[in-house]
Structure formats: structure tokens, C-alpha cells
Amino acid sequence: MPPMTHPQHEGRPVRVLFVCLGNICRSPSAEALFRHYVASQGASEDYEIDSAGLIAHHQGELPDGRMRAHAARRGYTLDSRSRPITYEDFFHFDYIIGMDEANRTRLLELAPTEEAAGKVSLLPEWCEASPRDHVPDPYYGGAEGFEHVLDLLELCLPSLYEKTRPT
């Protein structure tokens, strides 16, 4: 369930962190597409957007080449470098958004406080129109899996923006 109240931003950007297992497919795509959408709304200065993984296996790597290629066909550039989530992320970010239930479970286990745990949600929870309750991992599938992830992100991210934008 998304956080019900907006955190106090005190004149600073809204801080959003997207998280998946390895930070090479879903979360860097969500980061790039959300950054693109926020910019299209003229709100780049109102947001700090990042992504992280629950494992450090791909640390420092660019997103998966297949994901980058599918995103590029839609006009998106995925150029962030994979990094693992940190203890500090739970205090720094206002919203920590996982891609599936396993991500959420692990994020809640890692959350150092109840307040930090309250920042954790799943992306489809922000979008009433989402046909899925999670963003599936395309890593071991074919092209259709990468396209499906991008479809879900394009559907859900405008709702996330509307529900988190500063008023």
C-alpha cells in the first residue's frame, strides 16, 4: 500500500528510489522513465530520482543491454550504474518502490525503523489501472518480457507522479 500521507519536503525535491533485485532491468528502467516523465511535466527540479538493487552482484554495471535496446526504441536512455541499496537510502528517500513482492519483503526486512518501512511500496499500487500487482522480472525471458515491463512503467509512472508531486 503506498504511503497515505506526503512527507514534508521542506523546499527540497521529492526523493524517489526504485528497487529490484539486481538493479539492471526493472529499477533502472523505472528511474529513467520516471525521470523522462517528470521532465516532460517541467518538474525535474522537484524530484530526485534514483534506483538500487537488493544484491551487489552487478554493482557498477550499466542496465542490461536488452533492456537498454528496448527502451531506446521508445526514446528512453538507460545510463545509470547499478548499485546496491544502502542503510542511508532508508533515511534519504521519501518513497522506496519495489517491483515485486519479493523486493518488498526484503526491503521491509532491511528497513531500520518502522518509519523507514512505511516508505516501502510496490509500483503497481500507485496505479489503479495496473493490470498486474507487480512488475515481472524480464531477465530470463524473451523480448516480450522487456516490452511488458516498459508498458507497465509507462502506465504506472504518471500515477506515481500525480500522487507524489509537490503541491
Looking at residue 135, its pLDDT comes to 97
CB 153, CB 127: distance < 8 Å: no
- Give me the pLDDT at residue 46, please: 97
Mean confidence (pLDDT) of the chain: 94
CATH H-level, domain 34-164: superfamily: Response regulator (3.40.50.2300)
> Is a pLDDT exceeding 50 seen at residue 4?
no
Give residue-wise pLDDT tens across range 70-127. Answer: 999 999 999 999 999 999 999 999 999 999 999 999 999 999 999 999 999 999 999 9
Q: Which residues are the active-site residues?
A: 20, 26, 137
Q: Is the pLDDT of residue 3 over 80?
A: no
27 vs 137: CA distance, rounded Å = 10
- The pLDDT score that the predictor gives to residue 11 is 82
Per-residue pLDDT tens digits for 144-163: 999 999 999 999 999 999 99
Whole-prediction pTM: 0.95
Q: Is residue 9 predicted with pLDDT exceeding 70?
A: no
d(C-alpha 127, C-alpha 70), whole Å:
23
What are the sequence ranges of the domains in the chain? 34-164
